[in-house]
Amino acid sequence: MKNSNNGKGIIIKDIDCEEAIKRLMDYIDDYLKTNRKSELEKHLASCRSCMDRYEFQIKIKTKISSLANKPDSIISNKLRELLDSL
Amino acid sequence: MLVQTDKTLFTKAVLQHADGLMRFAVSLCRNDHNAEDLVSETVLKAFENFTGLKDHSKLKSWLYRILYNQFVSTYRKNNRMKQVHISGGGDSQDSFSLFEKLTATGTEDPEKDFLQKLTAASVRKAIEELPLIYRQAIVLSDMEQFSYYEIAKILKVPIGTVRSRIARARQQLEKALWQLALDMGLTGNKSNSKEQHICTCGKEETVKIQAHEK
C-alpha cells in the first residue's frame, strides 16, 4: 500500500499495527489530530485484528460509562433540603 | 446576593448535575457520607460564586472544579489524601493489554465471552480499587464524559498529565479485569498458547500458535 491523498492536499500515511495500537485510545477519546486520525482510520479499515481491538476497547469504555446511567437519581435528601434553603 | 431568577437557574443547574457530582464525590471520598458532605459544601461554595460565572456553557466543569477544590482543601487538611498520593503515582506504564491476554487464551471468541459475563458491579469494584489519581481521571473521562482539556482544568494539571493518568488508569483497570477473567475461568485450558499479531493488514492478521505440550 502507498500513502494516499485525501483530496484536500493532506497526505495520509500508512501506519503499522504497533502505531495503530498506540493511537487507539487517543482516537477513542477524540484526542487525535485530523491527519493522525485519518491514518488510523485507514489502517482500521484494512486490519481486522486492530478493528477487533478497537471494538473491544469501545465496549469496555461503554461498560464504564454505563455505570453513570442509573434510572434512579442518587440525590440525597440533605442536598434537596439545602437547595430549598438557599 | 442572587435574585430569584438566578436562584431558580442555580437550583436547576445543580439538580441537573447532582448525580454526576455525587458520583465524582464518592469516587474521591470512597464513602457516601463524606461524599454527601462534599457535595453540600460544593453547592454552598458554588452558590456564593454563581454571579461570577460569566459563561454558563462551562457550568458543569465549573461545579466539578469547585468540588475537587473543596475535596483537596477539606480532606487533604485532614490527612485523608496522604496514602492516596503515596500509592497513586509510582506505577510504571507497561503495556498490558486485556484484549491480547484474552485473545491469547485460544478459546472461541474469548473477548465476547468475557464482555458478556462482565457485570457492572465488577467494573465498579475494579474502578473503586484504583489509586485516587487514576480513579478520578477515569471517572471524569469515561463516566462523566469530560474532555482531556476539561479534566485538566478541573484537576489543575497539564493536559499531558491527564492523558497519561487516563492511560495508566486503563492499564491498571485492564489488569484487574484480567484477574477477574482468570477468576471466572474464562481463560480456557490452553494456558500455554500464545497469539502472535502479524501486521499483514487486510489479509490473515492473527495467527494463534499453540505451544507444544510436552
CA B144 to CA A60: how far, in whole Å?
15
Binary contact (B22, A46; C-beta < 8 A): no
Lowest mean pLDDT among A1-10, B87-96, B157-166: B87-96
pLDDT score at B188: 59
Of B11, B142, B201, the CB nearest to A64: B142
Q: Which helix (H) or strand (E) holds B170?
A: helix B159-184
Distance CA B195, CA B24 (A): 38
Picking from B40, B143, B148, the nearest residue to A78 by CB comes out as B40
pLDDT per position as a tens digit, B18-38: 999 999 999 999 888 999 999
Whether B137 and B172 have beta carbons less than 8 Å apart is answered as: no
Taking residues A62-84, report their average pLDDT. Answer: 83
* ipTM of this complex prediction, to 2 decimal places: 0.83
Q: Between A8 and A70, where is the model more confident?
A: A70
The model's pTM? 0.81
C-alpha span between A1 and B31 (Å, rounded): 55
Name the residue with higher pLDDT: B72 or B185: B72
pLDDT digits (tens, 9 = 90+) for B30-67: 888 999 999 999 999 999 999 888 888 889 999 999 99
Q: Rounded to a whole number, what is the distance in Å from the CA of A7 to chain B's nearest CA?
A: 23
Residue B212 has pLDDT above 50, yes or no: no
Contacts B19 to A, Cβ<8 Å: 68, 70, 73-75
What percentage of chain A carries pLDDT values higher than 90?
62
Q: How many residues does chain A have?
A: 86
